[in-house]
Structure 1
Amino acid sequence: MAALALGLSCGFLGTHAALAANANPNPHLNADADAARHHVLVQAAPDVRIDVIEEGKGTPLVLLPSRGRGAEDFDEIAQRLAARGYRVLRPQPRGIGQSTGPMKNITLHDLGNDIAAVIRDQARQPVVIVGHAFGNWVARTTSVDHPELVRGVAIVAAAAKRYPAGLSEHVDRSSDLSLPDAERLKSLQFAFFAPGHDAGAWLKGWYPEVNESQRLAGKATKQSDWWSGGKAPMLDLQAGQDPFKPASTRNEVKDEFGARVTLVVIPGAGHALVPEEPGAVVDALVDWERSLPQ
């Protein structure tokens, strides 16, 4: 039995087996993907343990989910990326799966330190971090605080520096499990999904305590602490119908940071983006990653 140590993965075979048995909550994924996927526990700090879903072999990518949601949101694109030659690492946020750690009085810097520990322990080389929605805040914070660990940052459906008032209320309603599904669906459709896409796909998969913890962590961190994403190359992967990214703000990141930013827009998708256009997301990520210096 391997001893737990700071920054080292947990080798408890019983826990590992139990996690692997629950690795695929989505039955549509094929058996080969299930067999290739497993979990590793990383002791990120004395009081923080991070559950990492790992699959594939090759260049490491780290995927970070939206606020209040878990790494399972990436099941389909992780499978596609693994098939295209990547080792995909998906750290579960604190409070989801087997990830544990303080949930109150934390900042984005604490969450970025969790990701840095996973990179050191599992990738053991600089990586591309892909952050979806709130996850892009954590990705950018990690790149600012730990530049030696980051080859590039992909911000997926990242909100504008200032987005329209009222949208955050719809995020809160979407994740409020005490509300009727019909009310939550209205908010999901308004804030996350473009017309013609099934907002019901996100009725499940919310973790209210995690959502609140992350909301407060974001409020406790100055936007200027993380906005630049450090100095690494950046992919600004936008959804064409994302209410958090009005057309008037389309170029704000590229205008501010210039040549290190690659801007790609996926038409017909909303803020959810990943479940709406998984193939287009993967194509954009692969094309950009392969353009980066090795």
Structure 2
Amino acid sequence: MKFEPYEIGRLDKEGANIRLCGRVAGPASGPPIVMLASLGRPGSDFDEVAQALGRAGYRVTLPEPRGIGDSSGPMEKLSLHDLAEDVAHVIETVAKAPVMLIGHAFGNRLARTTAADRPELVSRVGLLACGGLIEMPEKARKALIGCFDEKLSPEEHIECVRYGFFARSNDPEVWHDGWHRDVMLMQSSAVRRTPVEDWWEAGGQPMLVVQALEDAIALPANAHDLKARLGARATLVELPNAGHAMLPEQPARIARIIRDYLEA
């Protein structure tokens, strides 16, 4: 299934130009899904999942964040609310609300912020590798930072990718590249500048939580804690043989989980 590119623009609150680009798959009349990528990662991480959902009749939009591909705009002193305005503009202009908004890792924070700020645009929220209040171990934190360290040797870099993002039996080479340090710094700063309580509840929307059982960064205990806090509003599905990357490890299974949730 082919992707269709889009390009739209908007002005931020200071009047600066923001260019928002991405791709769409699936029939125009299909139920809309928007997917937000992980920290410093491109929308193409979702390609296999998006194609599977597109073949099933869904209309899937994959936005690129500022700094990746042709998307551009101010990159400093942003909050998650600023980045959520980008997502909201994509939903209103390209995807057509209300959508199921799915975020992977960092993307789950952005998805929850968008749902909290603009609940009328989001019917459901999907969290992949959601993280939470339980901190990642120090070794995993160092591996995450190492994925963006351009000074590491290729062997050191891929070991960081392997430890931080992939289950023991899976090949990390599929994520050998795609690491955007400037975008990571922008997004990390936006997280620090945004109170957790602003986005934690995701606007009260129904929530799908997909938890990889070998995730070294977003530990399974976080998903269990979130389910305990939200009760029936959250549907928790555990994913074996997958780590923090999840998407390249189990794309068919993730697409099936999303379909089952939407079609239940």
Same-fold status (TM-score > 0.5): yes
**5+ unaligned residues in a row in structure 2: which ranges?**
none
The alpha-carbon deviation at position 124 of structure 1 amounts to: 2.3
Find the counterpart in structure 2 of residue 38 from structure 1: 4
Q: How many residues align?
A: 257
The structure that has the greater radius of gyration is 1
Inter-CA distance 248–137: structure 2 relative to 1 (3 Å threshold): closer
Secondary structure in structure 1 of the residue aligned to 2:204: coil
Q: Does the 8 A contact of 1:42 with 1:50 survive in 2? A: yes
TM-score (norm 1): 0.84
Find the counterpart in structure 2 of residue 256 from structure 1: 229
Q: After superposition, what is the alpha-carbon deviation per residue over 1:80-125, rounded to whole angstroms, capped at 9, x for unaligned?
A: 1100111110110000111111111001111111000001111222
Matching of residue 48 in structure 1 with residue 18 in structure 2: yes
Inter-CA distance 192–39: structure 2 relative to 1 (3 Å threshold): same
- Larger relative CO (CA 8 A, sep 6+): 1 or 2? 2
Q: Does the 8 A contact of 1:174 with 1:203 survive in 2? A: no
Find the counterpart in structure 1 of residue 89 from structure 2: 117
Inter-CA distance 73–247: structure 2 relative to 1 (3 Å threshold): closer
Q: Does the 8 A contact of 2:212 with 2:220 survive in 1? A: no
The percentage of aligned residue pairs carrying the same residue is 38
The alpha-carbon deviation at position 246 of structure 1 amounts to: 3.3
Counterparts of 1:270-285 in structure 2, within 5 Å, are 270-285=243-258
Matching of residue 90 in structure 1 with residue 97 in structure 2: no
TM-score (norm 2): 0.94
**Rounded Cα–Cα distance in structure 1 between residues aligned with 2:222 and 2:34:** 27
Matched residue type, 2:6: V
Counterparts of 1:187-266 in structure 2, within 5 Å, are 187-266=160-239
The alpha-carbon deviation at position 143 of structure 1 amounts to: 0.3
Work out which of the residue numbers 42, 61, 66 in structure 1 matches 2:38. Answer: 66
**5+ unaligned residues in a row in structure 1: which ranges?**
1-32
The alpha-carbon deviation at position 223 of structure 1 amounts to: 1.4
